[in-house]
């Protein structure tokens, strides 16, 4: 059988994505995996209950990632098949859910509703003469994909090898048809090229029956790469207009490694660090499940809730170039029953995230520190209310730039932070204000071989002078984190 195997897009908000594709459309989540290329990237597959090829829409999760741009060299629309008689039901459902919807309009003789998912990806519901499973029922399968090509004729010729034949044209769109679905090619010559990012479709995968057929295509086409994705084998290629096309085998199928597809996070077998990966990947709730809604607060952030939380929370502030999940594996080992709240610094330097800018390696932008500390104070109050956190049981864990930032917050907003572990910290404020820190407990961990270690005593002296309950230690390490950091922080927090 020819036709589509799956379509893969990129989302920046996993919960909103699940709520739309499962909650609104009613598709089944048939697989959730860590990425085969980048294990710290969650990959979700939606489809029918069995995860059959031709029903699958998958999403790479770039949580909080930058948006891309739709242009030539990309797929621009995903079409799903619904019974023709259900167009009115879906229109009503979309309006009841507060979704903007266009149509119905007629395209190639079929009624079409056009709406957007939470990332802005265009989803078409196409009314076809197919079996009606009753109402409500999820779309039956992929009806087609719209491709934007800078060379429509070359794209059509390329796709013919996969069983797609010309089926007419309408409104600047050339239609190709397989025995199950269609590919619409829009001539986008002269338009801007697409840019990868969230809210765009990454690639389209076409069905081949088995590995032998896949290898035959590989022999005929230049510059292809083959990958075993466990649930299917993939051949990646570019068409003459630059569109990323995948050929994927029908088997082994989505149920090969679990009896109830989609209920368990699967980690590809070539990754063995499963505990840390699970901590870094974003959590989500299925429709109807208990959830903790994420709030729009001043910092991009990630919550990790353990299976048996003890009511404590650790706020994580990463070092230069880190992100909101960097410290989660370490923090989970230190406090395995704590809820983890990781923040992403908003200041950037040479493309990497920081909590404030620096003027050189040991001199910092004082105005930026103060502005970001003000934003952090607003985040703190908002997070306490939004996530029902007990302020008496909140600790801060900061490393390097994050630890320096925490120290600055202590000075500028005394009383906000009550307990903190600062790894490789230094005094960032100049001058540092006088503050009453009598209610603050702090553990500082300086590396004996840390080239920045000479700057740590100034922070320790200020903390002690300001009345903090200070435990200042020097461990056998450089600027990098070591097992001694984990051991010291774990025992210190246990005494809190």
pLDDT tens per residue, range 34-57: 888 887 899 999 999 999 999 999
Inter-residue contact 496 to 441 (CB < 8 Å): yes
Token couple for 48: 């029918």
pLDDT at 268: 82
With both helix axes pointing from N to C terminus, report the angle between 401-412 and 366-386 in degrees, rounded to the nearest 10: 80
Give the three-class secondary structure for 386. helix
Strand pairing category for 110-116 and 122-128: antiparallel
User: Measured between alpha carbons, how far is 18 from 25 in angstroms, rounded to an integer?
Assistant: 10
CA distance 74 to 150: 10
Confidence at residue 338, expressed as pLDDT on a 0 to 100 scale: 98
Chain centroid to Cα 414, Å, comes to: 34
The DSSP code for 66 is: P
Mean pLDDT per 10-residue interval, the chain, length 496 residues: 94 97 98 86 96 97 94 97 98 97 97 98 98 96 98 97 97 96 96 96 97 94 93 96 97 86 84 79 93 90 94 97 96 97 93 91 91 98 96 97 98 97 96 95 97 93 97 97 97 90
Distance CA 95, CA 22 (A): 17
Give the CA distances from residue 343 to residues 40, 229, 356, 418, in Å, rounded to whole numbers and listed in that order: 17, 32, 13, 18
Token couple for 245 = 């096309």
Locus of tokens 């300086």 = 446
pLDDT of 144: 98
How many H-runs (helices) and E-runs (strands) does the chain carry?
Answer: 10, 26
Lookup result for tokens 């461990």: 475
Distance of alpha carbon 104 from alpha carbon 127, whole angstroms: 10
What's the token pair of residue 364?
A: 């910092």
| 32 closest CA partner among 54, 61, 72 | 61
CA distance 97 to 87: 15
Contact assessment for residue 406 and residue 380, using Cβ atoms and an 8 Å cutoff: no
Q: What pairing do the DSSP bridges indicate for beta strands 339-343 and 313-317?
A: parallel
Output b/e per residue, 181-198; b: 16+ Cβ within 10 A.
bbbbbbbbeeeeebeebb
**Measured distance CA(49)–CA(27) in Å, rounded:** 8
Sign of the CA dihedral 412, 328, 62, 90? negative
pTM of the model: 0.91
Greatest alpha-carbon pair distance for the chain in Å reads: 80
What is the pLDDT, as a whole number, of residue 275? 78
Supply 150's token pair: 């800078």
Domains of the chain: 4-266 (3.10.180.10), 299-494 (3.40.50.1820)
The C-alpha angle with vertex 266 and arms to 261 and 269, in degrees rounded to 5, equals 130
Residue from 135, 131, 136, 98 nearest 115 by CA:
98
User: Rounded to an integer, what is the distance from CA 162 to the centroid of its chain?
Assistant: 32
In this structure, is the dihedral angle defined by the CA atoms of residues 244, 77, 160 and 3, taken in order, positive or negative?
Answer: positive
Decide: 364 and 399 in contact? Cβ < 8 Å: no
User: Can you give the pLDDT at residue 273?
Assistant: 62
Selection from 285, 5, 286 nearest residue 145 by Cα = 5
Cα–Cα–Cα angle for 407, 408, 412, nearest 5°? 125
């Amino acid at each position: 059988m020819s036709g589509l195997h799956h379509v893969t897009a990129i989302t920046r908000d996993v919960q909103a994505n699940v709520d739309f594709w499962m909650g609104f459309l009613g598709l089944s989540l048939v697989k959730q995996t860590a990425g085969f290329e980048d294990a710290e990237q969650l990959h979700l597959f939606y489809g029918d209950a069995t995860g059959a090829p031709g029903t699958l829409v998958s999403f790479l999760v770039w949580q909080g990632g930058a948006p891309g741009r739709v242009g030539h060299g990309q797929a621009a629309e995903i079409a799903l098949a619904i019974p023709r008689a259900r167009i009115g039901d879906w229109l009503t459902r979309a309006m009841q859910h507060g979704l903007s919807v266009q149509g119905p309009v007629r395209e190639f003789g079929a009624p079409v509703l056009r709406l957007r998912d939470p990332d802005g990806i265009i989803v078409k519901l196409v009314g076809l003469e197919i079996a009606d499973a009753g109402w409500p029922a999820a779309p039956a399968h992929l009806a087609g994909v719209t491709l934007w090509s800078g060379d429509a004729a070359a794209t059509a010729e390329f796709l013919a090898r996969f069983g797609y034949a010309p089926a007419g044209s309408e409104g600047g769109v050339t239609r190709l048809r397989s025995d199950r679905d269609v590919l619409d090619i829009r001539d986008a010559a002269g338009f801007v090229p697409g840019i990868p990012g969230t809210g765009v479709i990454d690639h389209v995968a076409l069905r081949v029956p088995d590995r032998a057929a896949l290898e035959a295509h590989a022999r005929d086409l230049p510059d292809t790469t083959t990958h075993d994705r466990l649930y299917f084998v993939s051949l990646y290629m570019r068409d003459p207009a630059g569109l990323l096309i995948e050929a994927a085998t029908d088997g082994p199928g989505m149920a090969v490694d679990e009896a109830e597809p989609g209920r368990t996070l699967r980690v590809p077998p070539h990754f063995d660090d499963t505990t840390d990966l699970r901590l870094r990947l974003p959590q989500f709730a299925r429709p109807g499940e208990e959830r903790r809604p994420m709030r729009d607060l001043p910092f991009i952030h990630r919550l990790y809730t353990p299976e048996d939380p003890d009511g404590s929370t650790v706020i994580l502030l990463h070092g230069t170039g880190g992100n909101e999940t960097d410290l989660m594996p370490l923090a989970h080992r230190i406090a395995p029953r704590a809820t983890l709240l990781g923040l992403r610094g908003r200041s950037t330097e040479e493309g990497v995230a920081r909590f404030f800018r620096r003027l050189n390696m040991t001199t910092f932008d004082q105005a930026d520190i103060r502005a970001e500390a003000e934003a952090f104070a607003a985040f703190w109050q908002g997070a306490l209310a939004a996530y029902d956190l007990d302020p008496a049981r909140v600790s801060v864990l900061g490393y390097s730039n994050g630890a320096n930032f925490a120290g600055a917050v202590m000075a500028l907003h005394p009383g906000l932070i009550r307990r903190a572990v600062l790894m490789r910290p230094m005094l960032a404020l100049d001058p540092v204000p006088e503050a009453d820190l009598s209610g603050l407990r702090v553990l500082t961990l300086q590396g004996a071989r840390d080239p920045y270690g000479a700057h740590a005593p100034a922070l320790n002296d200020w903390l002690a002078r300001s009345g903090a309950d200070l435990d200042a230690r020097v461990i056998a390490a450089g600027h990098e984190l070591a097992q001694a950091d984990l051991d010291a922080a774990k025992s210190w927090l246990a005494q809190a």
